[in-house]
Amino acid sequence: MASEPIFTPEQFLLDEKQANVKSCIITVVGGVGLTSTLGLKERRWGPASPLTFSLFGSTTNFDTPGILLNAAIANAPQIYLSLCYVTFNGLYTCIAMVYEWNAWATVRKGLRVTKAEGAQRSTYFLQLPYKWAVPLTITSGVLHWLMSETLFIVRADIRTPGGDLDDRESISACGYSLSSLLALVLVAFVLIFVTVYTVTRRVQQHIPFAAASSLVLSAACHPPPEDVDTHLKEVQWGVVDSFKDVGHCSFSSNQVLQPLAGNRYA
């Protein structure tokens, strides 16, 4: 009877989010097509755009209530972008955890903790590895800036026939720019595309995925009795001992062996 491999390469997918991702891609592509065909003569960048819209009666006199209403409308999407950043940050944190956990079967390294001792390593300042955290933070900043260039508060001044400014007739409104919107949609599309590519990459599995399960983590942390102060040393996951026909896999600071296909391990 042929032995089956103990591990097989698996694809790291978030099945429950695939429908949402596809919907986002369709929305983004549609938005690019729409913004590229509308307002050909009015595609000025940022506040230079003369386009305005009225929402909830937001075109009002330039007074305190009118200013606050339009400021709220123009800045409401910024809150949505902040929530999106938190979501993407959490998603990339899960992906980074998968790669870090999987690498412990091939590379010996210290544990990552808040206060490092011995061979331990400190946690990341931005929660993520810098190669991911820096681009994600920069992209988030660019999206916030583009949103501020897409939606903004404007003031329309009215002058008398003599050329004097009539403050009582000045109005406040919410302006928008199609050029800025197009740039915003393109950057968002790039972020979504990179994220979809990252979460659908095939991961060569070297260790059973833990998925942050405390039971799996605990099962992988039973080194041999002679391995003292393991948590302060560089460790690697692998076969540390054998009991009759069943091997034992654990993190250890001692030498470990790679599990073999067809063998049984606990």
Letter for the amino acid at 233? K
pTM: 0.71
- Domain C-terminal end among 197, 212, 227: 212
Whether 193 has a pLDDT exceeding 90, the answer reads yes
Structural domain tally of the chain? 2
Encoded tokens for 177? 């720019």
Q: Are residues 207 and 243 in the same domain?
A: no
Residues 166, 46, single domain; the answer is yes
State CA 160 to chain mean position distance: 52
pLDDT score recorded for residue 33:
55
Highest mean pLDDT among 99-108, 151-160, 236-245: 99-108
Residue bearing the bigger pLDDT, 104 or 44: 104
Lookup: tokens for 29 = 């592509």
Measured torsion, CA atoms of residues 113, 95, 79, 147, in degrees rounded to the nearest 10: 120
Domain range spanning residue 19?
A: 10-212
pLDDT at 259 over 80: yes
Whether residues 142 and 14 share a domain: the answer is yes
147 with 208, same domain: the answer is yes
- Strand 112-113 relative to strand 121-122, pairing: parallel
What CA–CA distance (Å, rounded) separates 72 from 33? 28
Task: Among 196, 212, 228, give the residue marking a domain's end.
Answer: 212
Based on the fold, state whether residues 84 and 129 are members of the same structural domain. yes
Report whether pLDDT(20) > 60. Answer: no
Question: Is 102 within a domain?
Answer: yes
pLDDT at 146 over 60: yes
Per-residue pLDDT tens digits for 59-96: 566 677 777 888 888 889 999 999 999 999 988 988 88
Amino acid at site 85:
Y
Mean pLDDT score across all residues of the chain: 77
Residue 29 is predicted with a pLDDT of 57
- Which of 212, 229, 258 is where one domain is finished? 212
Token pair 């544990």 is at which residue?
111
- Are 22 and 33 part of one and the same domain? yes
Do both 74 and 101 map to the same domain?
yes
Whether residues 203 and 265 share a domain: the answer is: no
Per the CB < 8 A criterion, the answer to whether 100 and 121 are in contact is no
**Do 187 and 253 belong together in one domain?**
no
**Percentage of the chain lying above the pLDDT 70 cut:** 74
Give a yes or no: residue 141 inside a domain: yes
142 and 44, same structural domain?
yes
Is 37 contained in some domain?
A: yes
* 169-189 confidence digits (pLDDT tens): 677 788 888 888 999 999 999
Looking at residue 264, what is its pLDDT?
Answer: 81
